[in-house]
Structure 1
């Protein structure tokens, strides 16, 4: 089977605007979740994790002045450009019909739903946000602005969207349909999303505590991240390689529209499937970047699944304690963090943990540590039981 490697990455989140800034924040246990009122939330007062750059600064930095370009797209463009530059891709390579672009998102252009409603209800004319309301508008903008002629697709499987984008990009390369793929995800905070999660009663009134017995729910965040994937034969010997995409598996247990089964069947199938795809035994996984949303359902279900697969799970953390839950971007952001762990042979602290879940009592790593890492698993579980596990291996 053709091997696929990561040669570039870019990320923007509540703890940093670049890969370097995110790496420093992770090492130092920085939490980007704040209880400061955010104007996007309206009257809903909950902790959120916002990127430090507002739309005006993003537009100026990226030289994008079209009002139809939403915040989700601005975040995506920021991370996309960093990943492309990091991989050293040329304009010719970007334009090639052998370069794919696969992105994941949940809210997409719907981040401007309130503005769209305001425009059409008050002015009775077209709104600049009408053309960007479509979920695929984010990655269509990246395609058009960079004149990309290869396969372009948008995936929406809720919180596993970007993980499926990474898996799909890997499959395109392995099947010979692309030489390289730029894969990732993006989502921005919006009243639309915050209201929806509040209706599900899973927003925490305090800063989230993944895997803690006193967890009260998740905190929403925003961000974007991209990886550049390339087939082994396309990589010059002098080119930097972060890791290999060793395993990918998607399971769809369809247990419930918004929750996982109590015994963790979906996560179990995803993790075991990824191990099988990678040709690895459970004992060979050195570290897990868990989905870890800090909701009552997810953390218990994921814990049970990890015990089923690993017996005694390897060291694990949830970086959602740093960035909040960035939804469609989460799997890509956490893939970057997993790759940073591999590249630097280190595990970052999972924040705000105090006591384990009764009857399971699994404890995430709570302090920075250096340790040898060869194979890292990253979990992402979406609504509707769409569960994905990825395995990255040191090259």
Structure 2
């Protein structure tokens, strides 16, 4: 059974909406800057991929029916989800029939930080207790859009929204639904900034994915949502799909809570099984949107995994986290949309800030943004703490 993408929506440090994100990505412009909307001791020290809008401005952009207890995570998600629904051209009656599989790692942590001290002092902030958990943003998106069917939330760390896409595809293939809204949303919070910093995983300069002198992550925030749709539904609605999801796999590295195995075994398995499902030869992958976090561990082991799977003939690849920062639970779906951009524009995106290959695998990512290739198949990798490794394969469609 074919799974089509009929709508996409995105918010990132590059901008609000598909058009602005594609434009900035194609021009090679980064959205990583200094922290502006959170008061932090790291404000002028750690670069981040922050969405260039205040909480109030995001609420206005979301055009909400109610602004009560809407967190930044929820606002980002609602903006992106509404765009996905709009580009899929779904009617109110059709929206009621779809399911939603969303994801978040930080949930409402940002607002919990803001309200915690006042709450301890007995001030009336109890309403925000309900927004703390990761599922709150899923419920808010469903409520705002009028989705009345099944909804659930996935948290598998940085592979969360990639796994949301996989679950949505499986639900369609099993015949449960014809359409599923899938994706993820995460807002920056002191909790994540301080947490990753305590693990010595953050770079004080612009991150350098796959570079020998990489020093770590630039965190980011954003949201990305896709409407997945069955072939029969696409034909019935006479809607032109954006792309096709032809392969996917989720595997676990089973090595360490916060690091991948030296050979990148989990990503080896997920890439291999995704290729098998897609029925593709290694040579048919035109571009890999790598997980590429710019940590010492990931970029070494992911590179080794790619060389192993592709028998040392690794396709053009790059990491787009140098454009947006690492958006945690939203990263997988945002980069799925970037993979679709690559197909739409026949473009391989430049890997920013790269100078020197990692000696252990000697791979060089894409050094210039080029639109001189015919991009038919794109592989997108995501990996998360806990060993979660996911791979998605998107295909250009003529339907």
Is there any run of 5+ residues in structure 2 with no aligned partner, and where? none
SS at structure 1 position matched to 2:130 = coil
Residue number in structure 1 paired with 2:9: 10
Q: Is the 8 A contact 2:35 2:50 kept in 1?
A: no
Asked whether the 8 Å contact 1:12–1:79 carries over to 2, the reply is yes
Q: Can you list the C-alpha shifts for 1:146-167, whole angstroms capped at 9, x where unaligned?
A: 2312221100000000000000
CA deviation map 1:197-231 (0-9, x unaligned): 11111001111000000100000000001001100
CA distance in 1, matches of 2:283, 2:197: 39
Q: 2:33 aligned with 1:31, yes or no?
A: no
- The 5 Å alignment of 1:270-289 reads 270-289=270-289
- The CA distance in 2 between the partners of 1:242 and 1:60, in whole Å, is 28
The one-character-per-residue Cα deviations of 1:80-105 (angstroms, maximum 9, x if unpaired) are 00000000011101112xx1100111
Q: How many Å separate the matches in 2 of 1:254 and 1:51?
A: 34
Structure 1: distance between partners of 2:309 and 2:39: 39
Deviates more, 1:65-74 or 1:259-268: 65-74
Q: Offset of 1:75 from its aligned partner?
A: 0.2
Deviation at 1:316, TM superposition (A): 0.2
How far apart, in 2, do the equivalents of 1:167 and 1:216 lie? 31
Distance 1:164 1:37, change over 3 A: closer
Q: Which residue matches 1:252? A: 252
Distance 1:188 1:258 in 2: 21
Q: CA deviation at 1:253?
A: 2.0
CA–CA distance in structure 2, aligned partners of residues 20 and 366 of structure 1: 23
Distance 2:343 2:146 in 1: 33
The residue aligned with 1:92 is 93
Task: Spell out the pairing of 1:237-386 with structure 2 (5 A cutoff).
Answer: 238-311=238-311, 312-370=313-371, 371-386=373-388
**Aligned mates of 1:67, 1:296 — CA distance in 2:** 42
Contact 1:119 1:127 in 2 (8 A): no
Question: Which sections of structure 1, spanning at least 5 residues, go unmatched?
Answer: none
Partner SS, residue 129 of structure 2:
coil
Which whole-Å CA distance do the structure 2 matches of 1:150 and 1:29 have between them? 40
2:102 maps to: 103
Q: 4+ residue runs of structure 1 moved beyond 4 angstroms?
A: none
Residues 291-310 of structure 1 deviation map (CA, whole Å, 9 limit, x = unaligned):
00000000000000000000
Does the 8 Å CA contact 1:266/1:386 hold for their aligned counterparts?
yes
Q: What is residue 38 of structure 2 aligned with on the other side?
A: 40
Q: 2:163 aligns to what?
A: 164
Question: Secondary structure at 2:15's aligned position in 1?
Answer: coil
Distance in 2 (alpha carbons) for counterparts of 1:271 and 1:342: 19
**Aligned counterparts, 1:39-58, within 5 A:** 39-40=37-38, 42-44=40-42, 45-58=45-58
Task: Give the conservation status (yes or no) of the 8 Å contact 2:380–2:393.
Answer: yes
Q: How many residues align?
A: 391
| CA deviation after TM superposition for structure 1 residue 67, in Å | 4.5
Q: Does 1:148 align with 2:152?
A: no
What are the superposed Cα offsets for residues 7-59 of structure 1, whole Å, 9 maximum, x if unpaired? 1100010011111101110111001111x343525112311111012111111
TM-score of the aligned structures, taking structure 1 as reference length: 0.96
Contact 1:113 1:192 in 2 (8 A): no
The match for 2:131 is 132
Query: Is 1:229 aligned to residue 228 of structure 2?
Result: yes
Aligned to 1:267, the other structure's residue is in SS state helix
Q: What value does the CA root-mean-square deviation take over the aligned residues?
A: 1.3
Work out the CA distance in 2 between the residues paired with 1:67 and 1:238: 38
Change (3 A) 1:95 1:316: same
Work out whether residues 155 and 162 of structure 1, in 8 Å CA contact, stay in contact via their aligned partners in 2: yes
Indicate conservation of the 8 Å contact 1:116/1:130, yes or no.
no
